[in-house]
Amino acid sequence: MHNLFRKELKLSAHILSYLFIFFGFMFFLPGYPVLCGAFFVTLGLFQSFQSVRENNDILFSALLPFAKRDVVRGKFLFVCFIELCAFLLMAAVAVFRQTVLVSAAAYRDNALMNANGFALSAALLIFALFNSIFVGGFFKTAYKFGRPFVTYIIVCFLVILAAEALHYFPGMSAVNAFGADHLGLQIGLVAGGFAVYGILTWIAYRVSCKRFEEIDL
Amino acid sequence: MSTVSIRNLTETYPSFRLDGVSFTLEKGRIAGFIGRNGAGKTTTIKSMLNLVHPDSGEIRFFGENLQGNETAIKKQIGYSTGTVNWYPRKKLKEIIDIVRRCYDTWDEAKYRKYLKLFALDENKAAFELSEGMKVKANLLVSLSHDAKLLILDEPTSGLDPFSRDELLQLFVELKKAGVAVFFSTHIISDIERYADEIVYISNGQIMAAGEKSDFIATFSEHGESLEETFLRLERRENDA
């Protein structure tokens, strides 16, 4: 399996998938919807799927000495690898912003969502939606990705909008915790984000394997 | 234990049906797979490689069912599916570097030998290669990991007569080493000269599968070449 993962990293991946990990730095931006950073990371992953299609990668991979379903596993491993790299960067930026830069006026007076535990859990939700809607949708045909990507974009921006608006609702201000405020809640939200990410990605993977087995290449 | 055993392979498409395809191939034998365009050759080969999903039937290699043993079986098979471009802008050596790690039995000496024999430049990208050279590039991988069976979809298409003859001579050498070769082609003279067995498919049905001499004895009329026999059979099928 590590050979298939190596193939994904060295052959199938588009350079933008790696470069767009750095959109995780958007968690530094005050007065900006930081979750757009998570969207841009998935936009980078989308470039790899375009490259996959241009280069006949699915058929190439299916002809390698692996089971057909391993082609799906390789793609999910790559996608999760990029997402988790981006998440680690976002988490590091969020911690830095909420500790070392906690007294910065730009962050203290931030009108939009703070880069906190809730933002990180929402980023994980966005990644999970990408895996479910886009990657899962792609493996219906292993060729067409227009509809899954447009659907994902719409859902993604609805989630960003809802996440940005949530703390303005009565009793929900804690989700916009600043610094070490509501630390237990913030850590719990990240843990919840991981659980949702893991469950949705696992379901998407299983469904994709089943779909891909039935596709004629 | 047959190297390849296909039983009642059936797959239905809106305008085509692969209908109960069955044949076997033993170790150290060369089988030519013939049939018109659209007869079901590529679909059969893709089924053998688990690229398409048959409605029913059984595909066994080396006595093992393909379903459930796909990885182990694929490691013992070399295959080439025509001149499809993989990563046309990547250098051959970049692609080979990925592929070679996937085979425990990769033989670097053989790889170098066939690279030289096929006069391939591994620093070239696929888009810089002629159609014939692309076929050779595909074959290069198939031949470099000690495969016990080669499944080749039109491996001689696009090759010049000299390269074609070299390749077919290579099949004979591999056969002597116990390798089974299953190849589809439209060049009947290649089958006439090099194949031990013929698998003949028409409209998704196997019309004959077995020894070439049996095929000739059964279907050929006096003084007919194999090509003339095949053409007559196909005309008869069309008229029917």
* A15 and chain B in contact, CB less than 8 A: no
Distances (CA, A) of B40 to A68, A70, B34, B43, B47: 22, 27, 10, 5, 10
What confidence tens digit (pLDDT) does each residue in A48-88 have?
A: 999 999 999 999 999 999 999 999 999 999 999 999 999 99
At residue A34, the pLDDT reads 96
State percent of chain B over pLDDT 90.
62
pLDDT band at B240 (very low <50, low <70, confident <90, very high): low
Beta-sheet strand order (sheet of B77-81): B77-81, B149-153, B180-184, B30-34, B197-202, B205-211
Q: Do A216 and B85 touch (CB under 8 A)?
A: no
Asked whether the beta carbons of A83 and A153 are under 8 A apart, the reply is no
Six token digits for residue B203: 């409209």
pLDDT band at A206 (very low <50, low <70, confident <90, very high): very high
> Using CA atoms, how far apart are residues B30 and B154, in angstroms rounded to an integer?
14
Q: How far is A150 from chain B (nearest CA, A)?
A: 26
- Locate the domains of chain A by residue range: 2-214
> Using CA atoms, how far apart are residues B17 and B27, in angstroms rounded to an integer?
29
Six token digits for residue B43: 């679909």
**Higher local confidence (pLDDT), B141 or A133:** A133
**Residue B24's beta-bridge partner residues?**
B5
Residue A134 CA, chain-centre distance (Å), reads 11
* B50 and chain A in contact, CB less than 8 A: yes
Q: Point out the residue among B75, B79, B84 whose CB comes nearest to the CB of A56.
A: B84
**Higher local confidence (pLDDT), A118 or B153:** A118
- Specify the residue for token string 């393909």: B66
Q: What is the DSSP string of B142-191?
A: HHTTT-SEEEEESTTTT--HHHHHHHHHHHHHHHHTT-EEEEE-S-HHHH
Q: Would the pLDDT of A208 be above 80?
A: yes
Q: Do A65 and B74 touch (CB under 8 A)?
A: yes
Q: Would the pLDDT of A199 be above 70?
A: yes
Assign B28 to helix, strand or coil. coil
What confidence tens digit (pLDDT) does each residue in B85-142 have?
A: 789 999 999 999 999 999 999 999 999 999 998 899 999 998 898 877 888 888 888 8
- Poorest-confidence range of A9-18, A118-127, A208-217, B76-85? B76-85
What confidence tens digit (pLDDT) does each residue in A35-49 have?
A: 999 999 999 999 999
Assign B119 to helix, strand or coil. coil
At residue B84, the pLDDT reads 62
* Mean pLDDT, residues A155-177 taken together: 95
At residue B82, the pLDDT reads 65
* A97 and chain B in contact, CB less than 8 A: no
* B208 and chain A in contact, CB less than 8 A: no
Q: What is the DSSP string of chain A?
A: -HHHHHHIIIII--HHHHHGGGGGGGGG-TTS-TTHHHHHHHHHHHHHHHHHHHTTHHHHHHHSSS-HHHHHHHHHHHHHHHHHHHHHHHHHHHHHHHTTTTT-HHHHT-SS--SSHHHHHHHHHHHHHIIIIIIHHHTTTTS--HHHHHHHHHHHHHHHHHHHHHTTSTT-GGGG--TTTTHHHHHHHHHHHHHHHHHHHHHHHHHHHHHHHH---
> What's the mean pLDDT when you consider all of chain A?
95
Distances (CA, A) of B188 to B37, B82, B139, B153: 14, 17, 20, 14
Q: Which of B146, B76, B96 has the alpha carbon at shortest distance from A65?
A: B76
At residue A41, the pLDDT reads 98
Beta strands (DSSP E) in chain B are: 4-13, 16-25, 30-34, 56-61, 64-65, 77-81, 149-153, 180-184, 197-202, 205-211
* B45 and chain A in contact, CB less than 8 A: no
Q: What is the DSSP string of A95-123?
A: HHHHTTTTT-HHHHT-SS--SSHHHHHHH
Assign B83 to helix, strand or coil. coil
Question: Which chain A residues are Cβ-neighbours of B82 within 8 angstroms?
Answer: none
CA angle B149, B152, B158 (to 5 degrees): 145
Q: Do B90 and A60 touch (CB under 8 A)?
A: no
What confidence tens digit (pLDDT) does each residue in B15-35 have?
A: 899 999 999 999 999 999 999
At residue A198, the pLDDT reads 98
CA angle B142, B9, B155 (to 5 degrees): 25
Six token digits for residue A108: 């203290």
Q: Would the pLDDT of B163 be above 70?
A: yes
Q: Give, as one character, the DSSP assignment of residue B126.
A: G
Residue A33 CA, chain-centre distance (Å), reads 15
At residue B236, the pLDDT reads 78
ipTM: 0.88
Question: Which chain B residues are Cβ-neighbours of A11 within 8 angstroms?
Answer: 87, 90, 94-95, 98
Q: Which of A42, A49, A190 has the alpha carbon at shortest distance from A129?
A: A42
Six token digits for residue B39: 């007869």
Q: Would the pLDDT of B204 be above 90?
A: yes
Q: Do B70 and A10 touch (CB under 8 A)?
A: no
Q: Would the pLDDT of B206 be above 80?
A: yes
Question: Which chain A residues are Cβ-neighbours of B95 within 8 angstroms?
Answer: 11
Assign B37 to helix, strand or coil. coil
How many of the other CB atoms lie within 10 Å of CB of A102? 13
Q: Point out the residue among B70, B87, B88 whose CB comes nearest to the CB of A11.
A: B87
* B46 and chain A in contact, CB less than 8 A: yes
CA angle B8, B150, B139 (to 5 degrees): 135
Q: Point out the residue among A11, A65, A217 whose CB comes nearest to the CB of B71.
A: A65
Q: Do A66 and B70 touch (CB under 8 A)?
A: yes
Q: Give the global pTM.
A: 0.91
Q: How far is B188 from chain A (nearest CA, A)?
A: 27
What confidence tens digit (pLDDT) does each residue in B50-84 have?
A: 999 899 999 999 999 999 999 999 999 998 876 66
Question: Which chain B residues are Cβ-neighbours of A141 within 8 angstroms?
Answer: none
Six token digits for residue B24: 């076997």
At residue B76, the pLDDT reads 93
pLDDT band at B155 (very low <50, low <70, confident <90, very high): confident
Name B42's Cβ contacts closer than 8 Å, sequence gap at least 6. Answer: B81, B153, B184
Question: Which chain B residues are Cβ-neighbours of A57 within 8 angstroms?
Answer: 86-87
Q: How far is B226 from chain A (nearest CA, A)?
A: 33
Name B161's Cβ contacts closer than 8 Å, sequence gap at least 6. Answer: none
Q: Do A217 and B70 touch (CB under 8 A)?
A: no
Q: Which of B93, B79, B49 has the alpha carbon at shortest distance from B143?
A: B79
